[in-house]
Amino acid sequence: MSVESVESRNGNYPGLGIGQPVGVAILGKGTVGSEVLRLIQEFSENLEQRIGGPLEVRGVAVSNVEKHKNAPEVQGIELTDDARSLITRDDVDVVVEVIGGIDYPRELVLTALKAGKSVVTANKALVAAHGSELADAANEAGVDLYYEAAVAAAIPVVGMLRRSLAGDQVQRISGIVNGTTNFILDAMASTGATYEEALAEATRLGYAEADPTADVEGHDAASKAAILASMGFHTRVTFDDVSCEGITKITAEDIDAAKQSNQTIKLLAICERLYDEDGKTKAVNARVHPTLIPNDHPLASVDKSYNAIFVEAEAAGRLMFYGNGAGGAPTASAVLGDLVGAARNKVHGGRAPAENPYANYPVVGFDEVATRYHVNMTVNDRVGVLAELTRKFAEANVSLSAVRQEESGDEAHLIVVTHKALEKDLRDIVDRLSRHPDVQQVNSVIRLDA
């Protein structure tokens, strides 16, 4: 097929033509970047058949050329510490960004897009913080922006939202999108370990970074929640829009209490529509927090460092996507899938489905969301305390689903499970209870999945 016939078929997005090489620049050669290079070389013939032309790596940008120059996967490939010069070369068609971070990658990705290069990124923090800016730049230049690997590595949830459910209405997305925290919570539940012990084991096995803050405080999951909400609800949601609470306060006692009620605790990213009295979408919300879910829920059985995303759509119903959500090979698989898509469009012409935030729903904070609470308090063991404290919930218009009191000497553990109420009302009543003279301590507050 000639270049002319491709151009006439695809209007403003002409292709290079069948058989023409696609030049690729790779930014970063860490675990993921090295694996991407290896896969491109190992599967070169298959990739050429899938794309319609060969992939040719024009160069790899690294911060320290000397450190990487003897690596086997870069022999015969240009190494450079000048990323900007590499990505603006005329023979580069697609840029793969696997550096990490936000500010420097943002500059590079914007430079690439404005230079007419399609971009594949695995950078969840970048997309969550600046996705709208990058999407606008891609649209203006008429190029592709892919980021499947930014959410749950090889699990194809972004492509599912972008393409497979493009004709449906997504109502809710909930998922385990951070392997480190899932490993920790699973270890606590299966071995009886404390949070500190489980974190130490996760660090020893390489699941947790030396500084695990982004994982255990929920920031990593919040970035992914922002991306999922943006894709699912056709509304631009950023990291700053996502309410976030990590797992650092979860105790072995919380895990035991969950077991006693046939539930389990998972750190969930939850994105959902909020409806008005007429059943129409009035807003959307995205949040991350530890959540009690029934043991018969599909997400409850997701163990170790695995990820899973549970999607509820109007026509498709309930769908679940499960697999490795991190690691060099799974992430590289997602990057390569995006690279094939971007390269195919370069050869044949046309563009992938772009971000379409046409709905533009208001994004509301957690205060306006109806949730349920599981509250564990240590209280003075005297006659009338149970009745008095439960009456406080009624006075705040919060109805109770269950109340359990366990006596222990001069004190008692009072466990209260509420029905759904606005988050701000539930938080207010817990705050007032914590200052009540008969409440020695509010031990934990965990939300239940509605």
pLDDT in tens, 275-318: 999 999 999 999 999 999 999 999 999 999 999 999 999 999 99
> What per-residue confidence (pLDDT) applies to 2?
38
CA 348/CA 1 separation, integer angstroms: 9
pLDDT single digits (tens) 167-190 = 999 999 999 999 999 999 999 999
Q: Is 129 helix (H, G, I), strand (E, B) or coil?
A: helix
> What per-residue confidence (pLDDT) applies to 252?
94
Q: How many CB atoms lie within 10 A of CB 44?
A: 13
Residue 418 has pLDDT above 50, yes or no: yes
161 within 8 A of 319, measured Cβ to Cβ = no
323 marked as binding residue? no
- Mean pLDDT, residues 381-401: 88
Rounded to 5 degrees, what are φ and ψ at 90?
-65, -25
pLDDT single digits (tens) 215-250 = 999 999 999 999 999 999 999 999 999 999 999 999
Name the token pair of 164. Answer: 């497979």
> Which residues in 37-154 belong to E strands, given as ranges?
55-61, 79-80, 94-97, 118-121, 145-146
346 within 8 A of 374, measured Cβ to Cβ = no
> What per-residue confidence (pLDDT) applies to 90?
97
CA 262 to chain centre: 27
55 marked as binding residue? no
Whole-number Cα distances in Å, 257 to 58, 252, 383, 404: 57, 9, 24, 11
Name the token pair of 404. Answer: 């359990």
Amino acid (1-letter code) at residue 90:
D
Residue 8 has pLDDT above 50, yes or no: no
pLDDT single digits (tens) 132-162 = 999 999 999 999 999 999 999 899 999 999 9
31 marked as binding residue? yes
Exposure of 37 in the CB half-sphere (CA atoms within 13 A): 27
Residue whose C-alpha is closest to residue 154's, from 363, 330, 22, 292: 330
pLDDT single digits (tens) 56-71 = 999 999 999 999 999 9
Residue 336 has pLDDT above 70, yes or no: yes
179 marked as binding residue? no
For residue 77, the 8-state DSSP code is S
Give the pLDDT band (50/70/90) at residue 384: confident
Give the pLDDT band (50/70/90) at residue 382: confident
- Mean pLDDT, residues 21-44: 96
CA 427/CA 310 separation, integer angstroms: 27
Instruction: Write down the pTM of the prediction.
Output: 0.92
Residue found under tokens 């030396």 = 210
CA 282/CA 227 separation, integer angstroms: 20
Instruction: Name the average pLDDT for the chain.
Output: 93
Residue 12 has pLDDT above 70, yes or no: no
> What per-residue confidence (pLDDT) applies to 178?
96
> Is 392 an annotated catalytic residue?
no
> What per-residue confidence (pLDDT) applies to 386?
87
124 marked as binding residue? yes
Rounded to 5 degrees, what are φ and ψ at 187?
-65, -40
From the candidates 69, 117, 224, 266, give the one annotated as an active-site residue.
Answer: 224
Residue found under tokens 């697999």 = 323
Residue 122 has pLDDT above 80, yes or no: yes
For residue 151, the 8-state DSSP code is T
Residue 31 has pLDDT above 90, yes or no: yes
Q: What percent of the chain has pLDDT over 70?
A: 97
Residue whose C-alpha is closest to residue 258's, from 216, 285, 293: 293
